[in-house]
Structure 1
Amino acid sequence: MSLSNSLQLSLIQLQNNNFNGRIPPNLGSLQHLRILLLYGNQLEAREPLDWSFLTSLNNCTILEVLQIDQNNLRGLLPKSIANISVTLQILTMATNSIEGSIPPEFGNIVCLTTINLGFNHFSGRIPASIGLLKNLHTLELYFNNFSGEIPSTIGNLSQLNELYIEFNSFSGSIPVSLGHCKSLVGLNLAYNSLTGMIPKEVISISSLGIGLIFEENLLTDTIPLEVGSLVNVGILSLSGNKLSGEIPKSLGKCHLLQILHLGRNFFEGSIPTSLSALRGLQELDLSQNNLSGKIPTFLGDFPGLHNLNLSFNNFEGEVPRKGVFVNKSGISVLGNDKLCGGIRFCIYLFVHFQVLRRFISLLNWQ
């Protein structure tokens, strides 16, 4: 408690220790405090009174960084969070058990560049006022109980680099306005209940480099041809939706693609030859679709491809015999009744030939 008597303190850096108990409620006395780092401890908040430290921090008018993630903070997030210093730039509260919603007044903290509330029990909607945070670069709300539609005002965040809101209960369609976030490098909306088409304005954000991940939603219709604009993307995952039509040939323009997951949809037609340009591909999952035709031999030419799942489709013809097809633990072609050949099939024939040869020799001996 006496820490607050050091009135000239501007930096408190106590992260990654084993501190426990409550956070002192009188830290607001530190008028010069700019940075407060308490993450990675065992600090507790169970009752509303335990959160009084957050209210007191409203008096720290030049506070820039507040990081209290990875502790044992529980209960409702006080609405007083919206009255914290407008100079605050970084706010992280991830990996606690905090409940409640984001108050609409949150949009008043206009200097925020980073928000991480992941791995908590937050609920309710993302307020439309989030679009007022014009300086925001990172917004992480993953593994919570947020619901409702993703507000269209999120498209106002022109400087946004990373948006991670996977594992929530968001519904409705992906806002077209998200396509205005031309600085995005990572976008993850997986494991929600999003419906409708994938907006061409979103899937054509060429700045996306880390990945675009929409898996395990309820998205429908086809993959827009504009997917070819993702020339820098490393991960594209659309598995577990209700997408249909053919795999677009324009995917072959995504030359830096390493992971492509399109499984558990309703795609049909053959694997386009344009995918032969994806030489850096490491994982390819096309399982549980309605794809047909022959398995392209060029898949065996990819030097880094170590995981190939083509199971439960309608492929036919001979399975290639080189590259990833030699690694029986790296490939699955189950559920394709019209396939033949391949390394595994040859081994099967060889073993049974040896058994038959042994049986004939025993008959001759007798």
Structure 2
Amino acid sequence: MLVLKVLLLLLYCVGNIGCSTVPDNTTDMLSLLGFKEAITNDPLGVLSSWNKSIHFCSWKGVWCSPKHPGRVTALNLAGQGLSGTIAASVGNLTSVRSVDLSSNNFSGQIPHLANLQKMQVLNLSFNTLDGIIPDTLTNCSNMRKLDLYTNLLEGAIPPPIGRLRNLVYIDLSRNNLTGIIPASLKNISLLETIYLQRNQLEGSIPDELGQFSNISLMALGANRLSGNIPASLFNLSSLQVLELRANLLGGTLPTNMGDHLTNLRELYMGHNMLEGHIPASLSNASMLEYIVLQSNNFTGRIPTSLGKLSRLSKLDLQLNMLEANDTEGWKFLDALTNCTALEVLALTANQLQGVIPNSIGFLPSTLQYLILGGNTLSGIIPPSIGNLSGLILLALDENSLAGTIDQLIGNLKNLQYLHLEENNFAGTIPPTIGNLTELYLMKNDFIGSIPSTVGNLTRLSWLYLGKNKLQGLIPTSLGNLKQLTRLDLSDNNLQYNMP
């Protein structure tokens, strides 16, 4: 009978940390066993050591305090393939400082962890947890890192989230969170990193987010945020990455936008409804490496001041209404020759008009992707473009360009992707065309036969030659293209020689 009473007492204390007759180390052991009980699949056998033949401080994934023997200070079972729910008994590990259960298959809801006053790290990312983020989690006042990335969480971000005043890192991205971004976040003055992207958050971006003095990364993209971008965000001098893409943000950018962003390296505002001119002051953010503003409603000229950005690697302004229809409008190309780290220049689907200036060939040799499709460019491709020996992708599709392409292809030895479709190119397809992976020449005026040397392009996966004036036999060498998955030779005068 005495043994039965002791067992009942121990079971009672799994859910009652206030049971003073049970030593702390016993409470932690029982809490861990309660956690194990909720596991339905342990494919790697990580919990096989969790039995009474071994002291629980030696169980795999468990760390105990040397100062306070028998008290669990860390539980780390990341990436073990565990399935089941997270037992409520975890909330009784009152000395724990770090809980990392990331990259498993936990489901169900996040248990109440309000008693874990010493916890500094909670990482439950890459699971399938659902339900809401408990308000009680905001009682963990010593929390420095909260990572719930990639789950199925829903509901609002807890309004009292600002109680976590010691938080440095928070990642709630890739969930199904709704509602607004709480203004109480402003109280977390130590915050350095905030990820909220890929949820269903709506409303405006709180002006209070511009009060962070230590913030280095702010990612709010792929939500339903609307309204103007608060001017206060552009005063965050510590900010290195600002990611606001794929929202419903509108309005214009302030003319002094770049004046205080002295540490900004990456700027992502694509797929919004921003309008007006791109501020020339953006060049004052002298550390910028990535500028991605595609799919907005920007108008006017591309600022020549961007040429001051010596670190600029990617400039993506596709799908806007930016203009270049005279010498002044094309001066941005001259300016970009100073951007000696430039690798990507993407200007598809704007209002670039007329002949491509010869200065395009004096862009940095680092350039790998040149994307100018979907404009109203005319004339021939300047021979100087052959100077861009580092090009991997050249896209000039959907323009009104003419002339031949013999010299163009011959000089671009590293070219893998060539998009010249829907132009007025003529002449023959040159016999030497590098080692392309994709070749798009359809809807032009090419004549002659398909060179048999096309069969030597061992990496070629897409070959589009339809809607030209090609004639003669289809070369049997095309049968050598083992990587070919897409082939279009339609609407020509080609013949096939049956064996």
- What is the 5 A alignment of 1:29-40? 29-40=163-174
1:1-35 alpha-carbon deviations (Å, 9 max, x no partner): 23333322222222222222221222223332211
Residue type at the aligned position of 1:216: A
Secondary structure, aligned partner of 2:310: coil
Contact in 1 for aligned 2:200/2:223 (Cα 8 Å): yes
Matched with 2:275 is 147
Matched with 1:265 is 399
**1: CA distance, partners of 2:381 / 2:455:** 21
Contact in 2 for aligned 1:321/1:342 (Cα 8 Å): no
1:123-144 alpha-carbon deviations (Å, 9 max, x no partner): 1112223202111111111111
**1: CA distance, partners of 2:432 / 2:224:** 49
**2: CA distance, partners of 1:124 / 1:324:** 52
Residue type at the aligned position of 2:370: L
Q: Summarize the Cα distance change of 1:350–1:15 in structure 2 as closer, same or farther, 3 Å threshold.
A: closer
Secondary structure, aligned partner of 1:350: coil
Matched with 2:124 is none
Secondary structure, aligned partner of 2:222: coil
Contact in 1 for aligned 2:432/2:453 (Cα 8 Å): no
Name stretches of at least 5 consecutive residues in structure 1 with no aligned partner: 355-366
Residue type at the aligned position of 2:255: A
Contact in 2 for aligned 1:104/1:129 (Cα 8 Å): no
1:193-243 alpha-carbon deviations (Å, 9 max, x no partner): 11114422354233122x211111111133333333331222211011012
- What is the 5 A alignment of 1:281-292? 281-292=415-426
Contact in 1 for aligned 2:473/2:497 (Cα 8 Å): no
1:140-159 alpha-carbon deviations (Å, 9 max, x no partner): 11111111111111121211
Matched with 1:350 is 497
Please, which of 456, 464, 484 is the counterpart of residue 332 of structure 1?
A: 464
The number of equivalent residue pairs is 340
**2: CA distance, partners of 1:223 / 1:342:** 36
Moved over 6 A (4+): 325-329
**1: CA distance, partners of 2:205 / 2:197:** 13
**2: CA distance, partners of 1:134 / 1:263:** 37
Please, which of 354, 364, 370 is the counterpart of residue 221 of structure 1?
A: 354
**2: CA distance, partners of 1:151 / 1:58:** 28
* 1:321 maps to 2:440: no
Task: Please report how far the alpha carbon of residue 324 of structure 1 lies from its aligned counterpart in structure 2 after TM superposition.
Answer: 5.4
Matched with 1:194 is 322
**2: CA distance, partners of 1:25 / 1:57:** 9
**1: CA distance, partners of 2:143 / 2:496:** 77
Residue type at the aligned position of 1:175: P
* 1:134 maps to 2:268: no
Task: Please report how far the alpha carbon of residue 325 of structure 1 lies from its aligned counterpart in structure 2 after TM superposition.
Answer: 8.6
Task: Please report how far the alpha carbon of residue 62 of structure 1 lies from its aligned counterpart in structure 2 after TM superposition.
Answer: 1.8
Matched with 1:57 is 185
1:311-356 alpha-carbon deviations (Å, 9 max, x no partner): 333333343222259899833334433x4335268972535xx9xx
Contact in 1 for aligned 2:269/2:292 (Cα 8 Å): yes
Matched with 1:120 is 247
Contact in 1 for aligned 2:473/2:495 (Cα 8 Å): no
Residue type at the aligned position of 1:58: K
* 1:169 maps to 2:297: yes
Secondary structure, aligned partner of 2:410: helix
Secondary structure, aligned partner of 2:495: helix
**2: CA distance, partners of 1:277 / 1:206:** 21
Task: Please report how far the alpha carbon of residue 247 of structure 1 lies from its aligned counterpart in structure 2 after TM superposition.
Answer: 0.9
Matched with 1:358 is none
Normalised by the length of structure 2, the TM-score is: 0.63
Task: Please report how far the alpha carbon of residue 69 of structure 1 lies from its aligned counterpart in structure 2 after TM superposition.
Answer: 0.9
Matched with 1:79 is 207
- What is the 5 A alignment of 1:207-246? 207-209=341-343, 211-228=344-361, 229-246=363-380
**1: CA distance, partners of 2:334 / 2:144:** 44
Normalised by the length of structure 1, the TM-score is: 0.85
**1: CA distance, partners of 2:496 / 2:208:** 72
**2: CA distance, partners of 1:324 / 1:153:** 51
**If you compute each CA radius of gyration, which structure gives the higher value, 1 or 2?**
2
**Higher relative contact order, chain-length normalized (CA < 8 Å, sep 6+):** 1
1:283-319 alpha-carbon deviations (Å, 9 max, x no partner): 21212223233322212xx22x132222333333343
**1: CA distance, partners of 2:140 / 2:464:** 64
Matched with 1:280 is 414
Q: Summarize the Cα distance change of 1:202–1:167 in structure 2 as closer, same or farther, 3 Å threshold.
A: farther
Q: Summarize the Cα distance change of 1:325–1:248 in structure 2 as closer, same or farther, 3 Å threshold.
A: farther
Q: Summarize the Cα distance change of 1:37–1:9 in structure 2 as closer, same or farther, 3 Å threshold.
A: same
Q: What is the aligned-residue identity percentage? A: 31
**2: CA distance, partners of 1:42 / 1:290:** 48
Residue type at the aligned position of 2:462: G
Matched with 2:437 is 306
Matched with 2:91 is none
More deviation, 105-114/193-202: 193-202
Q: Summarize the Cα distance change of 1:347–1:148 in structure 2 as closer, same or farther, 3 Å threshold.
A: closer
Over aligned residues, Cα RMSD in angstroms?
2.5
Contact in 2 for aligned 1:86/1:108 (Cα 8 Å): no
More deviation, 167-176/3-12: 3-12
* 1:98 maps to 2:225: yes
More deviation, 132-141/274-283: 274-283
